[in-house]
């Protein structure tokens, strides 16, 4: 397998068996009819030891916390409310103590308590090598209000929540120095963003409750990759202004080149990138300000080929779909 995304495209079903299915493969989560007022949203993510995390960068509780967080972030990108989750975990026969595995579940429970999400089942098996944890999250979204990637229209504002680049920067520090290094306050902030990301459930719900048309994607693989997914899904051109992208304030000790890589390609910020009708932008900004959620305009959508252009020093260039890809060399 050479390319994760090409492989997923090759799996697209040629037919659909259930009329209740609204959206299958191709967005942050699947969606199907649930009742008169809500639809059901379901997503699943897997974390593999030494691929998604290392023992030198995350404590067991961090692993559990993040395993649930990445799923809740997908539900946020659909404008949904998380309700339940299931956990399948494959534990190596050597190297992991029972108490450490319990701490993984403690980490999940910390986040579950915050968002009132119930653990309803799963599976526990052994593994010959690395630890593997798979979480399936189930939630609801108001009928007719789902925030699909394909919702982008020409003239839309492109926006992001909060700051970008922190998680990738935090990981770089952990890989260089480990967890026991005497980090400065700003460095600890970056590490916290990597180990315990904050799913933007409230931001997604805010857009849904406002009733505005919007497209959303969560930033798991880097803004370059996620913006391209929005462009491809909607068949539009997206233009981003690098100068407007909010970089995390604690990135000051890194070089400009490092910051650019963290912000554009680093991923795992688990913020939201989205588009919305220009005429609703003032209303959206006011609502987010009142809710104390940072939101920043970083570009616009126009008719054209499904590509992303980045403006830097007033010069545009194509922003390739680079970011984390499991089956391709990640630059």
Q: Which residues contact 157 (CB under 8 A, 6 or more apart)?
A: 275, 276, 277, 278, 281, 297, 299, 300
CA distances from 45 to 154, 308, 309 (A): 32, 26, 29
Binding annotation:
28, 45, 52, 74, 105, 122-123, 149, 218, 220-221, 268, 324
Q: Is 217 left (phi over 0), alpha (psi -120 to 50) or beta?
A: beta
Q: Name the strand (E) or helix (H) holding 172.
A: helix 166-177
Burial of residue 270, with CB atoms counted within 10 A of its CB: 0-12 exposed, 13-18 middle, 19 or more buried = buried
Residues 31 and 146 sit within 8 Å (Cβ to Cβ)? yes
Per the annotation, binding residues for Mg(2+) are 28, 45, 74, 123, 218, 221
Beta bridge partners of 87: 122, 135
Could you give phi then psi for residue 125, rounded to 5 degrees?
-135, 175
Q: List the beta bridge partners of residue 43.
A: 137
Read off the tokens for 144: 């007719």
Annotated binding site for ATP: 105, 122-123, 149, 220
| Residue among 174, 194, 177 nearest 57 (CA) | 174
Binding residues for substrate: 52, 268, 324
């Amino acid at each position: 397998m050479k390319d994760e995304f090409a492989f997923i495209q090759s799996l697209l079903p040629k037919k659909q068996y259930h009329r209740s299915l609204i959206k299958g493969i191709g967005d942050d989560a699947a969606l199907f009819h649930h009742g008169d007022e809500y639809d059901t949203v379901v997503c699943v993510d897997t974390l593999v030891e030494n691929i998604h995390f290392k023992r030198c960068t995350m404590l067991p509780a961090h692993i559990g916390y993040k395993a649930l967080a990445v799923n809740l972030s997908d539900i946020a990108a659909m404008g949904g409310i998380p309700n339940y989750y299931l956990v399948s975990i494959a534990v190596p026969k050597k190297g992991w103590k029972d108490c450490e595995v319990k701490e993984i579940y403690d980490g999940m429970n910390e986040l579950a308590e915050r968002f009132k999400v119930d653990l309803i089942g799963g599976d526990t098996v052994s593994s010959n090598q690395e630890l593997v944890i798979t979480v399936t999250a189930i939630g609801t979204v108001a009928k007719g209000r789902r925030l699909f990637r394909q919702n982008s229209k020409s003239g839309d504002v492109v926006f992001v929540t909060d700051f970008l680049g922190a998680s990738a920067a935090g990981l770089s520090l952990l890989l260089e120095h480990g967890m026991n290094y005497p980090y400065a306050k700003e460095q600890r902030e970056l590490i916290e963003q990597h180990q315990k990301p904050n799913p933007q459930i409230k931001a997604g719900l805010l857009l849904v409750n406002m009733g505005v048309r919007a497209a959303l994607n969560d930033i798991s693989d880097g803004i370059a990759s996620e913006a391209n997914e929005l462009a491809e899904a909607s068949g539009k051109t997206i233009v981003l202004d690098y100068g407007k992208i909010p970089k995390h304030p604690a990135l000051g000790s890194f070089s400009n080149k490092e910051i650019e890589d963290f912000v554009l390609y680093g991923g795992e910020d688990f913020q939201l990138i989205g588009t919305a009708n220009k005429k609703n932008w003032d209303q959206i900004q006011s609502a987010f300000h009142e809710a104390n959620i940072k939101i920043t305009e970083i570009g616009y959508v126009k008719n054209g080929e499904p590509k992303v252009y980045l403006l830097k020093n007033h010069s545009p260039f194509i922003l390739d779909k680079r970011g984390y890809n499991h089956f391709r060399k990640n630059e």
